[in-house]
Amino acid sequence: MKLAVVLGTRPETIKMSPIIRECERLHLDYFVLHTGQHYSYELDGVFFEQLNLGKPKYNLGIGSGTHAEMTGLMLLGIEHILFEEQPSIVLVEGDTDSALAGALASVKINVKVGHIEAGLRSYNRLMPEEINRVLIDHCSDLLFAPTDKAKATLLSEGIPATSIFVTGNTIVDAVYQNMQLAPKAFDGREYILVTLHRQENVDSKSRFSSILEGVERIAVDYRVVYPIHPRSRKMMAKFGLKAKNIELIDPLDYLRFLQMEKSAKLIMTDSGGLQEEACILGVPCVTLRDNTELPETIEVGANMLAGASPDKIVECAKTMIDKRNTWSHPFGDGKAGERIVNIVKERYE
């Protein structure tokens, strides 16, 4: 059996790290193919060094572009490597263009596909990620659902039960494993951590400015720190937006950022991964979106949806900021990577 791991972004690297470590531990025949969707050292390259994962065997170096441009170039590059390597199965994670390209390139040449974090739905088809999730799930052979809710979604869409495995989420494994590598806390002062980068938020001047207004109102009473993504900074400049009273800092490497999450009083974000990590770390969260593919975080009381309304953002932040961690996170016991690799071995070895 030969196993291929296809990834291309920072979140995928984090969530695939337990899979890679398990392959190493078992001395499996595997390789990592990086599409280069995230291509700066700060946002990507440093991860492999910090997490002791070794360099990917292949890096397509795709870089930025439209969704069609990136996906098309990835399909060409991935197909060429799959023809050369002939893996038994390709593992993809989540909902990125890299994951979609990895799945599509594989099924077109009859290579099996395993989808990690299958069954998530926001039911917002305006999100490119939502389209990707659905397409990947429906062309995968093995679907690794993080929760029973995700499994139920897949079953409701006609995917056979024999293809679905509830494994927990590898983000739990990653948090547990990587916290041991993380440095000391960000600093001793209390703060709210903000991240904001999704296309539907930062590419709209009215929506971006509305969210910033809500966060600025919170920043009157609390220290707010925003490690700003280069693309978000670019759109702020383009729209002429300011961030009053908000501390804008450069993006952090993953381990420092993980420690910053753990030490925060509250996390306000439009990131799916941060909703999961906040829930796991016991930090209350406010999601700066109108919907989420992670309703479990809301159901256990760890998260609230605020949308883009300044009044709603302030209301949710005040509700959550002093909330005690009384929830149990729903994403598993930190052994998802081990389960996934074992299932793949049993099926294809």
For the stretch 279-306, pLDDT in tens is 999 999 999 999 999 999 999 999 999 9
Stretch 80-85: mean pLDDT: 98
Count: domains in the chain = 2
- Residue 227, strand partner residues: 249
**Residues 288, 304 contacting (CB under 8 angstroms):** no
Cβ-based neighbours of 342, under 8 Å, separated by 6 or more: none
**Residues 126, 200 contacting (CB under 8 angstroms):** yes
What strands, in cross-sheet order, belong to the sheet with 224-227? 246-249, 224-227, 192-195, 266-269, 285-287, 303-305
Residues 283 and 143 in one domain: no
Residues 103 and 215 in one domain: no
Residues 342 and 175: their CA atoms lie apart, in Å, by: 21
181 inside domain: no
pLDDT in tens, 302-327: 999 999 999 999 999 999 998 988 99
Cβ-based neighbours of 25, under 8 Å, separated by 6 or more: none
Residues 183 and 342: their CA atoms lie apart, in Å, by: 32
Q: What's 218's domain CATH number?
A: 3.40.50.2000
pLDDT in tens, 49-59: 888 888 899 99
Residues 277 and 146 in one domain: no
**pLDDT band per the 50, 70, 90 thresholds, residue 39:** low
Dihedral Cα 126, 127, 129, 130, nearest 10 deg: -50
**Residues 323, 301 contacting (CB under 8 angstroms):** yes
- Tally of CA atoms within 13 A in the half-sphere of 117 that contains its CB: 28
Stretch 41-70: mean pLDDT: 82
211 inside domain: yes
pLDDT score, position 51: 83
Residues 287 and 194: their CA atoms lie apart, in Å, by: 10
Q: How many helices (H) and strands (E) does the chain have?
A: 15, 13
Residue 235, token pair as written in the block: 């759109």
Residues 201 and 122 in one domain: no
Residues 77 and 205 in one domain: no
Stretch 184-210: mean pLDDT: 90
pLDDT score, position 41: 53
pLDDT score, position 216: 97
CA distances from 243 to 203, 211, 314, 321 (A): 16, 10, 16, 21
* Domain range for 271: 192-320
- Work out whether strand 112-116 and strand 266-269 pair parallel, antiparallel, or are unpaired: unpaired
Residues 252 and 39: their CA atoms lie apart, in Å, by: 15
The C-alpha R_g of the chain, in whole angstroms, comes to: 20
Q: Is the pTM of the predicted complex or chain greater than 0.85?
A: yes
180 inside domain: no
- Tally of CA atoms within 13 A in the half-sphere of 4 that contains its CB: 27
174 inside domain: no
Cβ-based neighbours of 28, under 8 Å, separated by 6 or more: 1, 3, 341, 345
Residue 98, token pair as written in the block: 């890299």
* Selected catalytic residue, list 38, 67, 115, 197: 197
Residues 35 and 17: their CA atoms lie apart, in Å, by: 16
Phi, then psi, of 107 in degrees rounded to 5: -65, -30
**Which is higher by pLDDT, 19 or 349?**
19
Residues 38 and 161 in one domain: yes
Residues 109 and 45: their CA atoms lie apart, in Å, by: 30
First to last CA, the chain: 5
Active site residue 80: no
Residues 256 and 338 in one domain: no
